[in-house]
Structure 1
Amino acid sequence: MSDGGAGRGVSVIVAAHRAHDTIARAVRSLLAQDWTAWEAVIVSDDGTDYRPTLQAAGIDDPRLVFASTGRIGAGAPAARNVGLKAARLALVAPLDADDRFRPGRLSALVPLAVRHGAAFDNVAVVRDTDGSPLRCLYGDEQAPALLDGACFLETSVPMFPVVRRDLVPGWDEDVDFCDDVVFNVRVLDAAGPVPLVSTPFYEYRQRAGSITFSADSGERAERCYRRALDRLAGDGFGIRDESLRHRFMQAIVVKRARNAAYDAAFRAGRCANFQEFLALGEG
């Protein structure tokens, strides 16, 4: 399947930090899409070149664009913003370098994003070591047809929309742990309720060595939540809907309490990461 017309191409932004072991899998998931009008903007945030790694894996495609933050460990938001500047197509979609799109994702979401400004899908959380499922964001009977800001703030699994370029707010680099939450709230503030596809087309991989496995992840999350509250009390992240800003502040209070419970469970050895903690039913 092609793009079906102009203005329906997708710039997939991949922030890459120490991702040489996983980048080929992420890119192969794009090569497997039946929607072929995409480019992958791969942004190095570790001072290394990802082109030779992909070529060694047999991947050399003209749709691959390479960029760099020029720094080491600038953070995913900074890398995504570099990718956004380099992106050339009408739609934007983030993809973490250790995750993957399942087949059919772009053909399902792109037409919806073109019409409605953005589109989300269900998310499958998978243990990276053996590919076993941990949980799904929504069961088939739970997924709403439309996602708005209030509904999104009740979720606890990262979500990765396809967004029309004119509605992309960029990523806030001062909240680098929960930047995806801020990004999605800002998208939904701009677009209003948008379609949610109940099929879990995005595979969120839980991998040892990732930020959610780190011993200080609970502390980093707490710092992020404090910074987000400060921003909401100040410039409000530019969120125009006052009720949504208020809901966001309330949601952070809930997330902080859940994070404290997770931190205790992690330090007690009951879980290895936040998604395993949620799968225990303690969150």
Structure 2
Amino acid sequence: MRLSVIIPAHRSHAFIGDALDSLAAQQQPDGLALEVIVVADDGTDYAHHFTAARRQALECLSATTGRIAAGPSAARNIGLNRASGDFISFLDADDLWLPGRAAALLPLADVHGAAVCRMAITALDAPGTPKLTPVLPKHGHLSPQDSLLIDGGFCPVYRRDCITHTWDEALDFAEDLLFNHVAVVNAGGLFVHPQPLMHYRIRPDSATHHMPSASHRAERAYAQMLSRLSPASGETATLAACLHRKRRLNAAYLQAWQQEPGLHFEQFVRASSP
């Protein structure tokens, strides 16, 4: 059994060592090989981060988009094409898997097709910020429709047969929403593990959190996705309703951020949820 973890890397040399160490420290069930594929999207070489100690625990591969800032979707697609795993997951270069994540999620992904855990969140520009847990409707098995209610990023482990598609490289924001939705539909749902077994770290230079431009990019992405949806099917109507809800949430967050600059989206979601 093999798990492939794909890491897109753009200006990530200061952080990626921690990400690799978090994977190398995973307790691996007997017979599991853990493959990590780092795809450079900044014209630099990340292979020197594959130290001897990391190579002892991980099968390390490096690749490149061949461009500068082609985008995380392009990098993930290249990694997906290189991946040999029976299970697939994606990790941003500045985030961490906490101990036990692989051992907890792999059996669930094997049974359910897709499994995820809650996340601990901190801002790297604010040492001492309390860890937050993103709001999830519940833990246990979620339908594809209920999984659309998750606000904020989430990074499942997927059984390989659930990934029949690629990342949409035309989107420069919220691209994970569409990719994850298709994979979760293929899996017939998403199993949510109740423990926070991933550490999501918000970088001060992250384009995803650079306000107010991030909010404007989100609005453009949601509008673009809505314009592509074909009418009629119930699944399309569900996704459209989700996108309209996210547009309203994004507008409310922008208004809240204007009143409280520095407010992170995850903090806003937690504070505004019942």
Q: TM-score, normalised by structure 1?
A: 0.86
**Per-residue deviation, 1:153:** 1.2
Q: Secondary structure at the match of 2:94?
A: coil
After superposition, the C-alpha distances for 1:121-150 in whole angstroms (9 at most, x for unaligned) are 2222222242633421247xx633102221
Q: Equivalents in 2 of 1:91, 1:58: separation in Å?
A: 24
Query: What is aligned with 1:97?
Result: 93
**Per-residue deviation, 1:193:** 2.2
Q: Secondary structure at the match of 1:135?
A: coil
Query: What is aligned with 1:228?
Result: 225
1:111 maps onto 2:104 in alignment: no
Higher alpha-carbon deviation: 116-125 or 100-109: 116-125
After superposition, the C-alpha distances for 1:143-185 in whole angstroms (9 at most, x for unaligned) are 3310222111111121111111121122111223111111111
Query: What is aligned with 2:73?
Result: 77
Is contact 1:123-1:157 (8 Å) kept? Answer: no
Look up the equivalent residue of 1:232 and give its one-letter code: L
Which blocks of at least 5 consecutive residues in structure 1 are unaligned? 1-7, 237-241
Query: What is aligned with 1:239?
Result: none
After superposition, the C-alpha distances for 1:58-78 in whole angstroms (9 at most, x for unaligned) are 745561110000011111111
1:160 maps onto 2:160 in alignment: no
After superposition, the C-alpha distances for 1:91-140 in whole angstroms (9 at most, x for unaligned) are 1000111111011101111122122222122222222242633421247x
1:29 maps onto 2:22 in alignment: yes
Q: Equivalents in 2 of 1:279, 1:211: separation in Å?
A: 21
Q: How many residues are paired up?
A: 267
Query: What is aligned with 1:267?
Result: 258
Query: What is aligned with 2:174?
Result: 178
CA 144–213 in structure 1, closer or farther in 2 if over 3 Å, else same: closer
Look up the equivalent residue of 1:30 and give its one-letter code: L
Q: Secondary structure at the match of 1:52?
A: helix
Q: Equivalents in 1 of 2:53, 2:11: separation in Å?
A: 20
Query: What is aligned with 1:147?
Result: 142
Look up the equivalent residue of 1:266 and give its one-letter code: W
Match of 1:255 among 246, 258, 273: 246
Higher alpha-carbon deviation: 209-218 or 85-94: 209-218
Is contact 1:134-1:279 (8 Å) kept? Answer: no
**Per-residue deviation, 1:223:** 0.9
Query: What is aligned with 1:16?
Result: 9
After superposition, the C-alpha distances for 1:240-281 in whole angstroms (9 at most, x for unaligned) are xx3232111011111111111222333344334322332443
Among all aligned residue pairs of Structure 1 and Structure 2, give the percentage whose two residues are the same amino acid: 36
Q: TM-score, normalised by structure 2?
A: 0.89
RMSD, matched Cα: 2.3
Is contact 1:212-1:273 (8 Å) kept? Answer: no
Which blocks of at least 5 consecutive residues in structure 2 are unaligned? none
Is contact 1:15-1:43 (8 Å) kept? Answer: yes
Q: Equivalents in 2 of 1:194, 1:213: separation in Å?
A: 26
Look up the equivalent residue of 2:81 and give its one-letter code: K
CA 213–193 in structure 1, closer or farther in 2 if over 3 Å, else same: closer
